[in-house]
Amino acid sequence: MTVLAAPAPDPSPPVRVHAPPLGVLGWTALAITLLVGLPIAVVLSHVFAPGESSWSHLVHTVLPGYVLNTLGLMFGVTAGVASMGVLSAWLVTAYRFPGRGLLEWTLLLPLAMPAYVMAYAYTDWLQFAGPVQSALRAVTGWQVREYWFPDVRSLPGAIAMFSFALYPYVYLLARTAFFNQSRTALEAGRLLGYGSWGSFFRVALPLARPAVAAGVALALMETLADFGTVSYFAVQTFTTGIFRAWQSLQDKVAAAQLAACLLGFVALVLLAERWSRGRARYHNTAPRSPLPPQRLRGAAAGLAFAACAAPVVLGFLLPAGILLKLALTDPEARWTARIAALAFNSFTLAGVTAVVTVGIAIVLAYAGRLTRRPLVVFANRAAGLGYAMPGAVIAVGILFPLGRLDNLLADWVYAQFGVRMGLLLTGTIVALVYAYVVRFLAIALQSMDAGLTRITPSMEDAARSLGATPAGTLARVHAPMLSGSLMTAALLVFVDVMKELPATFALRPFNFDTLAIEAYNLTRDERLAEAAMPALLIVAVGLVPLIVMSLRMARERR
């Protein structure tokens, strides 16, 4: 019998595989992450900072109202966007009825209508002198104080504006989740005796729960970040409180402390969304084979069409029609040299920010792909957290460090050359672009990551074997293949900058306004007709990415 001896142990120590060095790209990614995270660190550092008496005054007077109004907005918007988004997504996915193909992409149109623009339009339509109440008085003969009419400039009105403007977030994610579900799970539900709606509530909706929670979280973060709607409707929230402490009370520390409270609500939303995904135990393991849509006829088809058409009409067609009517018929709403200058300012800011943001996103995404170091991967994820930060919070966080840096530079120049110089960063477009990059870097970064995942690593290896440097590989190999992702990222950032109001309102240079600022200022002065033109321009620019998304959705169905 042959006895096999065990091999002798190797006395040499085990070989450790060292991770590749960070390199220039890796260190650049870390530096960018530090700059992006600086505003939130500054805000949190002022939580317990000693300030003036404003904070004590706010705590004992208006802070409870801020909390209650913010919670009311969150609960109301959750119910609104979830009901409209999920119902419309299920109807266009599971059923076939007249007009379904048109509604499938028009349900995205309210994304082009900022909530504050919608608020301006509905205020003109529903105010006492507006067409609705005027027609009501003409028909009934009622006079002033003889009837009750709901006030749109209220907390319920703000909830309605946010729900109509933000439900597409839920619709888009829920529709994708329903479309990717397997017929196996739905047919199993029908074998258990569930009807169409029973299968929806017991099978389809639980499987889509993570997507619905993610869409609701996005809508809530946009709600918490809003300034124009709540300010115009006189709904006191943390965002309006930040600007009041900053500009009216002249207490920057109190503004930072309110911003920290607002960050707490954002963290609550993110934790709730994470908890929803973590506690869910619904999994779709079957291969994708969607169930063919059921054909509806008669009253059922009419109800389905009405349920899907109502959000489109109320969230886009009606407010856009109101603004268009004002722009075409009211003599005060006209194209002027000032509107052209404002459009130039807005397009310049949006264009510069789009180029800078996409360039930074390329560096971050490519650094994560090449180094594969956990630290760089974490840095990329941390750099994308700025999208969860409201513009008002970012503005407060940027004001402190840039202001100190400006003072240091001014003191140094005066000490060295005896010249008194003004502010180089604070109150300039540099601060604005910085805020925009922090706010919208996540959008560009996601597009770059998605584009790079479709490029096989063997192409990089082939380029490197031919002597190409990482920068040369990026420029000559990856950039042409990423052209679609680059255009998508730049377009999305461009549109979001055009619509951004809180950061622009807080950090814009003196005598430098944008279309969003002009629309807000005019409506604050009750000059709604004059605000129609800049508001329509913002909406028109916002339609461009929606057209691109609609074309992609149409290709998915083929």
Q: Determine the number of helices (DSSP H) and then strands (DSSP E) in the chain.
A: 27, 2
Q: Are residues 46 and 92 in the same domain?
A: no
Separation of CA 282 from chain center: 27
Long-range contacts of 68-71 (CB under 8 A, 24+ apart): 69/155, 69/230, 69/235, 69/236, 69/237, 70/224, 70/237, 70/238, 70/262, 70/265
In degrees, rounded to 5, the angle at the alpha carbon of residue 303 between the alpha carbons of residues 300 and 308 is 125
CA–CA separation, 256 vs 44, rounded Å? 8
Dist CA 440 CA 442 (whole Å) = 5
Q: Which domain holds residue 503?
A: 22-51+332-558
Gap between the terminal Cα atoms of the chain: 68
Residue 11 lies in a domain: no
How many angstroms separate the CA atoms of 176 and 189, rounded?
A: 20
- Residue that terminates a domain, selected from 280, 295, 329: 329
pLDDT at residue 1, rounded to an integer? 40
- Say which residue, 183 or 530, is predicted with more confidence: 530
Token pair in block for residue 535: 């508001």
Listed residues 302, 329, 356: the one ending a domain: 329
Whether residues 338 and 273 share a domain: the answer is no
**1 is a domain residue:** no
Residues 477, 421: one domain? Answer: yes
Helices (H), 195-251: 196-199, 205-207, 209-225, 228-232, 238-243
Same domain, 65 and 42: no
**Domain contains 9:** no
Residue 300 and residue 359 in one domain = no
User: Which of 65, 89, 86, 219 lies closest to 155 in space, CA to CA?
Assistant: 65
Residues 6+ apart with CB under 8 A from 146: none
42 and 65 part of one domain: no
Cα dihedral sign, 545-549-550-552 = positive
CATH number of residue 204's parent domain? 1.10.3720.10
In 39-165 the beta strands, taken as DSSP E runs, fall at 95-96
Q: Where is mean pLDDT largest: 84-88, 248-252, 385-389, 554-558?
A: 84-88
Give the model's pLDDT for residue 286.
Answer: 47
| Beta-carbon-side half-sphere exposure of residue 330 (alpha carbons within 13 Å) | 16
Judgement on whether residues 325 and 336 belong to the same structural domain of the protein: no
67 and 28 in one domain?
A: no
User: Could you tell me if residue 15 is inside a domain?
Assistant: no
Under the banding of pLDDT at 50, 70 and 90, the label for residue 305 is very high
Tell me the whole-structure pTM to 2 decimals.
0.81
Please tell me the distance from the alpha carbon of residue 534 to that of residue 340, in angstroms, as a whole number: 10
- Clarify whether residues 294 and 399 are in a common domain: no
Residues 323 and 341 in one domain: no
Which region among 290-304, 360-374, 459-473 has the lowest average model confidence (pLDDT)?
459-473
Q: Is the model's pLDDT at 207 over the cut of 70? A: yes
229 located within any domain: yes
> 510 in a domain, yes or no?
yes
pLDDT value, residue 122: 93
Residues 523, 384, single domain; the answer is yes
What would the pLDDT profile of 130-154 be if each residue is shown by its tens digit? 888 888 888 888 887 778 888 889 9
446 and 485 in a common domain: yes
Tell me which of 329, 359, 375 is where a domain ends: 329
Write down the mean pLDDT value for the chain. 80
- Is 421 a member of any domain? yes
Give the pLDDT confidence of 377-420 residue by residue, as tens digits: 777 777 777 777 788 888 888 888 888 888 888 788 778 777 77
pLDDT in tens, 412-454: 877 877 777 767 777 788 889 999 999 888 888 877 777 777 6
* pLDDT, tens digit (0-9, with 9 covering 90-100), for 229-272: 998 998 999 888 888 887 777 777 888 888 888 888 888 887 77
Tell me if 420 is assigned to some domain: yes
Per the structure, the count of domains in the chain is 2
